[in-house]
Amino acid sequence: MNSPLVSTDWLNSHLECCDLFILDVSMSKVIGKQPIIYEQLFTIPNSYKVSIENDLSDLNSSAIHTFPSGEQVQRLSVQLGFNLQSTLILYDDQGIYSAPRAWWIFISLGFENVFILDGGLPKWIAEGRPIDDKHHLLPQDFGDLNSELDCNTAAITTSDMLLLNIETENSIVIDVRAEQRFLGVVAEPRAGVRSGHIPKSKNLPFGLVLESTQYKAADDLKGLFEKLGCSSDSAIIFSCGSGITACIVLVAAIIADFNNVSLYDGSWAEWGSDESLPISK
């Protein structure tokens, strides 16, 4: 798999390219890190606002941040005018936070030319790149996707599959929540969710794969995964609180050339809420 990242230099030199769609996928609520707060709206020129919470979550599901259906993303693509051949650049206002989640959604649905802006909006602003105070208006003429979107089933892992994996250990399960949440020594931020972790899972807090607002170098990332027993042929499943920050570390694994990866979409919000599922502390 090619690198999922593009640099601020690259984007700055391609801002006016045809069939390039810049999507601001920042989230309104940031959990697990000290959020970067802005006094006003700053955007990268020509970027569209796409909501993880609404546009890229299944609103018919009772669970939080559930993976959207292909039909839902297809409607979004038609509305904004991009298709499977378009180049999508994703960024968020924390640097690296929610953009990896949006990236995994698009990749899982068959989009190939999708990239995360490494360093996101904070790096863009710090370098004195051009900024705007609004998002790009929606096109007047809708595009045409010309293809139905179907999710790659290997991209998503369910609680039933994880329950079986506790016995088989065919996959390495990596929980990216903070260590104290993983160990169950602090209460979960969501009411009614038990503390602890999935039995036999390993902990790699998502902040450890980042250097400020960017990803660490590939060799450094590789070392982090190797310490957890991962090899090039390992199947790795990523989990977090609700399926957002798990994608940060999932993308880090891909950068480090571990490509057999999957997301536990329900994550701890689902597992910790289900009394029938075992937990460890």
Say whether 240 is catalytic: yes
pLDDT at 2: 76
Whether the CB-CB separation of 105 and 68 falls below 8 Å is answered with yes
Give the C-alpha separation, 144 to 26, whole Å.
25
Percent of the chain with pLDDT over 90: 80
- The whole-number pLDDT of residue 16 equals 85
DSSP 5: E
Q: Is the pLDDT of residue 143 over 60?
A: no
Alpha-carbon radius of gyration of the chain: 18
How far is 140 from 110, CA to CA, in rounded Å? Answer: 26
Query: Domains, the chain, ranges and CATH?
Result: 5-126 (3.40.250.10), 153-271 (3.40.250.10)
Is the pLDDT assigned to residue 176 strictly greater than 70? yes
Contact 230, 258 (CB under 8 A): yes
Listing from the earlier edge strand, what are the strands of the sheet with 87-91? 5-6, 114-117, 87-91, 20-24, 47-49
Q: Write down the pTM of the prediction.
A: 0.95
**203 half-sphere exposure, CB direction, 13 A CA radius:** 16
Higher pLDDT pick, 60 / 268: 268
Model confidence pLDDT, tens digit, residues 235-272: 999 999 999 999 999 999 999 999 999 999 999 999 99
Give the whole-angstrom CA distance, residue 259 versus residue 267: 20
Tokens 């068959």 belong to which residue? Answer: 110
Q: CB burial class (10 A; 0-12, 13-18, 19+) of residue 144? A: exposed
The amino acid at 173:
V
Please tell me which residue in 17, 230, 240, 247 is annotated as part of the active site: 240
For residue 142, pLDDT beyond 70: no
* Helices marked H in the chain: 8-13, 70-80, 99-108, 120-126, 159-168, 179-183, 218-227, 246-255, 267-271
pLDDT in tens, 197-223: 999 999 999 999 999 999 999 999 999
CA geometry: angle 97, 103, 107, nearest 5 deg? 160
Percentage of the residues of the chain whose pLDDT score is greater than 70: 96
Per-residue pLDDT tens for 20-58?
A: 999 999 999 998 899 999 999 999 999 999 999 999 999
